[in-house]
């Protein structure tokens, strides 16, 4: 039986549609914003090999994400999962998993959750988290997931490194892995993630 991995990508979210429109018009862009960017998520299946089955659901409306829509789409995936899957959330995908697992009982046993460069709150971000804001307690998340890993780079320009420290306080049994020089962890190759997944 292949080990299942679920990767929830990042995105942007806004409290009002006009904020989204204003962002499209005014946020700083470079030429790279208009080119295809290959990230580690795309090659994860090939890097892990045939013993793994990788799910990378394209979450609804990633550039103007709505929590309720993402919740529905994750729940549509659940019937295809077996017990002991590993869930990975990058950026907005990380806070999405933290919120979902703090407010819901996942119907399958989870082997581990990896939160990568995940925001904890609006503090220091360039946009609001809207409906993705965490509940006051992450206790249910901690209770139903035995292995929680917090990964972040100290030089992340999108989500300040201090957010990892806030997760560590809210999830005292979690394990942290800190990087230097990876910024928001969008690189094409991520051997440290491959090693972590295989170690589980």
Q: What pLDDT, on a 0 to 100 scale, did the predictor assign at position 58?
A: 95
Q: What is the pLDDT of residues 37-62, one digit of tens each?
A: 889 999 999 999 999 999 999 999 99
CATH for the stretch 3-24+31-199: 3.40.50.1820
Contact partners, residue 101, CB within 8 Å, separation at least 6? 110, 113, 140, 141, 144, 145
The three-state (H, E, C) secondary structure of the chain, written as one string: CCEEEEEECCCCCCCCHHHHHHHHHHCCCCHHHHCCCCCHHHHHHHHHCCCEEEECCCCCCHHHCCHHHHHHHHHHHHHHCCCCEEEEEECHHHHHHHHHHHHCCCCCCEEEEEEECCCCCCCCCCCCCHHHCCCCCCHHHHHHECCEEEEEECCCCCCCCHHHHHHHHHCCCCEEEEECCCCCCCCCCCHHHHHHHHHC
- For residues 118 and 89, is the Cβ–Cβ distance under 8 A? yes
Q: Does residue 177 have a pLDDT over 90?
A: yes
Q: What pLDDT, on a 0 to 100 scale, did the predictor assign at position 104?
A: 97
Q: What is the pLDDT of residues 53-107, one digit of tens each?
A: 999 999 999 999 999 999 999 999 999 999 999 999 999 999 999 999 999 999 9
Q: What pLDDT, on a 0 to 100 scale, did the predictor assign at position 103?
A: 98
| 160 — pLDDT class (breaks 50, 70, 90) | very high
Look over the chain and give the mean of its residue pLDDT values, rounded to a whole number: 95
Q: What is the pLDDT of residues 109-123, one digit of tens each?
A: 999 999 999 999 999
Q: What pLDDT, on a 0 to 100 scale, did the predictor assign at position 127?
A: 82
The reported pTM is: 0.95
| 181 — pLDDT class (breaks 50, 70, 90) | very high
Average pLDDT value for residue range 15-22: 90
Domain ranges of the chain: 3-24+31-199
d(CA 88, CA 190): 13
Q: Does residue 136 have a pLDDT over 90?
A: yes
């Amino acid at each position: 039986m292949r080990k299942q991995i679920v990767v929830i990508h990042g995105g942007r979210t806004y409290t009002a549609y006009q904020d989204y429109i204003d962002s499209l018009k005014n946020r700083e862009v470079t030429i790279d914003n208009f080119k295809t960017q290959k990230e580690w998520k795309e090659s994860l299946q090939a890097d892990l090999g045939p013993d793994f089955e990788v799910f990378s659901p394209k979450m609804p409306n990633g550039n103007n994400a709505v929590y309720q829509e993402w919740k529905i789409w994750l729940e549509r995936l659940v019937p295809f999962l077996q017990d002991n899957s590993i869930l990975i959330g990058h950026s907005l995908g990380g806070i999405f998993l933290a919120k979902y697992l703090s407010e819901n009982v996942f119907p399958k046993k989870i082997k581990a959750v990896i939160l990568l460069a995940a925001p904890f709150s609006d503090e220091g971000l360039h946009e609001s988290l809207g409906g993705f804001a965490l509940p006051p307690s992450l206790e249910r998340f901690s209770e139903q997931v035995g292995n929680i890993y917090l990964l972040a780079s100290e030089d992340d320009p999108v989500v300040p490194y201090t957010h990892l420290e806030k997760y560590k306080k809210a999830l005292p049994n979690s394990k942290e892995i800190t990087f230097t020089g990876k910024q928001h962890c969008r690189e094409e190759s991520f051997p440290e993630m491959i090693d972590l997944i295989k170690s589980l």
